[in-house]
Amino acid sequence: MKLSVITPTSGNVLRVKDTINSFLTQRLDDYNIEINIIENSKKENQSSELKNYFKSLPKCFKYSLDERPGSSEVRNRAVQNTDGDVVAFIDDDVKISDTWIKTVYQSFEERKNLTFLGGTNLPNFTSVVPSWFHEFVKKTKNHWECHFLSLLEFNQDIENIDPKYIWGLNSAIVRKKFIELGGYNPDRHAYNLSEKKILRWAGDGDMGLAKQIKKYNLISMYKKKMLVYHLCNAERLTEKYFLDRSYMEGIINSYTLIRNSKKDINYTYKKNLIRFSLKMIAKKIINQTKFFKPNMVRELKKNILNAYIEGFKFHQKEALEDKKLINWIKSENYWNRDIRNEIR
């Protein structure tokens, strides 16, 4: 079995070096593996630094430059340019554990009908954790998660897991199935919420793929030892970061509801979608909130809910007023779509 690892990077050289170094601690010669680092940046000085770094790496590391924006689109194009039996997606702010590669190989080799594989995403805290953080950790008897920081851990391996628990920062899939399912829907193309003309083209990325896998009843598995450490730095442990994530979640859920609907979008339907989505997000937030919390925590949760509402309303309004955006949302797949052609 050949494994093709795909890691898009926005040009943060120090960060992606940490990801690469976590692979270098493994016995790479024991596996038929390639690690593809795709730089998704226009900053020439960063590109030069990263390319020079690759000169000292083993041949299984491959560098390429793709200036077209969108990490999901970069992943799609990378899959088309690789020949691995299985493709794995690792973000550039992740460090893999010493059991990661072995677990991926064993899982696909031992269970021939396996399509989709995910694992444990633990935090790599690099600053003081704020006191309110634990209010946003969801716990059950079987697992805990913090979706704002893409953290997840189950108590044990799960042979048939709901694919919604397999996230893009740490996942692997049979390449042939990935292509048959249409690849990833778009993700976000901007990280500054002021860039409204770009944010409106965001989609549900890895969650869209998970829905396709569930629709066709394909086998998904969770393995505890498919373990990564996800960067949780000072910037991400702020109220602003959580608010921005919630705003984007509103946009993403609006995209999903429009994409899955067979009705035309109109004002009445828009109100129904908003009512439904607010009910779901409010339920999720309230379930994580115990009564008699400090005023600061209650205020933060209220602001997070409001950010979600604003993101949802923004996207709904944009879609209502622009048929071109609706056509983008309703695309069968995004293999040959370039966001730059849409925003001109």
Helices marked H in 36-155: 44-54, 71-80, 100-110
* CA within 13 Å, CB half, 290: 9
pLDDT for 268 equals: 42
Angle between helix 239-260 and 295-321 (nearest 10) = 40
- In the predicted structure, residue 27 carries a pLDDT above the cut 80: yes
- In the predicted structure, residue 290 carries a pLDDT above the cut 80: no
Q: For domain 3-181+216-232, is the CATH number 3.90.550.10?
A: yes
- In the predicted structure, residue 339 carries a pLDDT above the cut 60: yes
CA–CA distances in Å: residue 259 to residues 25, 94, 107, 108, 321: 42, 30, 33, 32, 16
Contact 305, 246 (CB under 8 A): yes
pTM: 0.91
Average pLDDT over the chain reads 89
pLDDT for 140 equals: 96
- In the predicted structure, residue 11 carries a pLDDT above the cut 80: no
Q: Which of 112-126, 206-220, 308-322 has the lowest mean pLDDT?
A: 308-322
What is the residue extent of each domain of the chain? 3-181+216-232, 239-342
Q: Which of 85-94, 146-155, 225-234, 289-298 has the lowest mean pLDDT?
A: 289-298
